[in-house]
Homo-oligomer: A and B are copies of this chain.
Amino acid sequence: MTSRSVDEHARRVRALLAPALAHRTELVAVTAALGRVLAGDVHSPLDLPPFRNSQMDGFAVAAASVRTAPVTMPVAETVAAGDAGPAHLPPGTAVRIMTGAPVPDGADAVVPVEDTESTTDEVTVRVARGAGEYVRDRGSDVHAGDLLLAAGARLTARHLSMFAAVGLVEVPVLRRPRVAVITTGAELVEAGRALEPGQIYDSNGIALSASLEANGAEVSSVDRSTDDVDLFREILHRATASADLVITSGGVSMGEFEVVREVLTPLGGWFGHVAMQPGGPQGLAEVDGVPVLNFPGNPVSTLVSFEVFARPELRRAAGLVPIEVERLPLEVPLTSVPGKRQFLRGRRLAGSVTLESGPGSHLVAALARADVLIDVPEDVTAMEPGDDVRVWPL
């Protein structure tokens, strides 16, 4: 069986996945764009505010006519928000105006209602106001053509509010990579059924689909196959029809009933050993022009393989910020197998990191409690408290 380092396998995964997961743009409704990543610069199609309007409930006046407050003048009209309003303010008069209503030509200030006394026909302005006060000019927020937001931003409620305010219906976002999941293993049973002797519950389907969702991908399908090669082949071709990437779990190691290896080797797939623990047996193939990543079936091996090989590629494809690997001092000693890069389950403390469990790949409960992977290099066999280790956040 051929063997590779983690870095070499990661390079080959990237070479195969990068073109398949290259950025592609789609238009989505602004109302459905929360959390998506903007695929192009967005410019404003209009001035905001689109017309000169009042910042307060009060009276629109010519500032020159209230310079000697208090002053009493006739109220020409009332203009509410949503009204077109009068085109022009007759000289020496005021217009009763609501917040957001258009300020007529000839008026250049708004006197807030609390600084006035009024009847239906007349208003007494008690406080002088200068030109421009409480008037929002057209385009004072945004001018038509202004850059609203640059490509690459992850869209928040505030961004969507801005897009809606300028009347945009759709925005260009990165299409999420579509990924199909196939779990394999004759021993796997769906939750909700009783276990027969020798059977276990399938946890890799939800583990992979939830991990994909959490890293910006869209799960196009989740299927479970037995060790039957015809069934697996059928599920595989169905998956490639609508996915940018297929991820399988199980069926890749040295046993006799390894359905994934058996079907994909004749199609040119690579199967071999990656010098890591957990997650040693790995595969990589291309079927129907779609890359296929083959992870081992132990639940912890599957999830660690996802973190190490799939997550960086998927996050890049989705336009998400990369995972930042840190260096932290160990709280406890550890030992490691020579010649294998170990990814131990750990937990971050204040300024250091500790182990969450032993190295057994079946320890799903320990993995659930972990919040980091501790990355121990191939050539290291023992580390002491205080030694720095590389730590991958989960």
Copies in the complex: 2
Selected from B31, B113, B257, B360, the residue in CB contact (under 8 A) with A136 is B360
Give chain B residues whose Cβ lies under 8 Å from the Cβ of A164.
191, 201-203, 205-207
B197 touches A84 (CB 8 A): yes
Q: Scoring A residues 171 to 200 as 1 if CB is less than 8 Å from chain B, else 0, what string do you get?
A: 000000000000001111001100111111
Q: Taking the nearest CB of chain B, how far is it from the CB of A302, in angstroms? A: 8
**CA gap between A210 and B159 in the complex, in Å:** 10
| Bound: A163/B364 CA distance, A | 9
| Distance in Å: Cβ of A311 to nearest Cβ of chain B | 11
A102 at interface (Cβ–Cβ under 8 A)?
yes
Q: A165-B200, A185-B81 are in contact. Are A30 and B362 (CB under 8 A)?
A: no
CB distance from A196 to the nearest CB of B (A): 7
In chain A between 292 and 313, which residues have their CB closer than 8 angstroms to a CB of chain B? Answer: 297-299, 303
Interfacial chain B residues near A297, Cβ < 8 Å: 99-100
- Chain B residues contacting A6 (CB-CB under 8 Å) are none
Contact of A214 with B368 at beta-carbon distance under 8 Å, contacts A84-B198, A99-B255 already known = no
Does A114 touch B at the CB level, under 8 Å?
yes
Contact check, B366 vs A186: say whether CB atoms are below 8 A apart: no
Contacts of A162 in B (CB 8 A): 203, 364-365, 367-368
Chain B residues closer than 8 Å to A141, beta-carbon distance: 360, 362-366
In the bound complex, what is the Cα–Cα distance between A81 and B257 (angstroms)? 9
Q: How many residues of A contact B (CB 8 A)?
A: 93
Of A81, A160, A394, chain B has the most CB atoms within 10 Å of the CB of: A81
Is A51 interfacial (CB-CB < 8 Å)? yes
Point out the residues of chain B lying under 8 angstroms from A366, CB to CB: 141
Q: In the docked arrangement, what's the CA distance between A49 and B159, Å?
A: 48
| Shortest distance from the beta carbon of A177 to any chain B beta carbon, whole Å | 16
Given contacts A98-B255, A99-B298, A158-B364, 14 further A-B contacts (CB under 8 A): A48-B364, A99-B253, A99-B255, A101-B198, A136-B360, A141-B363, A148-B368, A156-B368, A161-B299, A162-B203, A163-B203, A163-B206, A164-B202, A165-B299
Q: Which 10 A-B pairs have the closest CB atoms?
A: A82-B186, A161-B207, A82-B187, A157-B210, A164-B203, A57-B255, A165-B203, A84-B197, A98-B255, A81-B187
Would you list 24 pairs from A and B whose C-beta atoms are within 8 A, ordered by A residue?
A: A57-B253, A78-B256, A81-B198, A83-B198, A98-B255, A99-B255, A99-B298, A101-B187, A102-B198, A114-B254, A141-B362, A141-B365, A141-B366, A156-B368, A156-B394, A158-B368, A161-B203, A161-B204, A161-B207, A162-B364, A163-B203, A164-B201, A164-B202, A165-B201
- What is the interface of chain A, defined by CB distance below 8 A to chain B? 30-31, 34, 44, 46, 48-51, 55, 57, 78, 80-85, 96, 98-102, 113-114, 136, 140-142, 146, 148-149, 156-169, 185-188, 191-192, 195-211, 213-214, 227, 253-257, 297-299, 303, 360-368, 370, 394
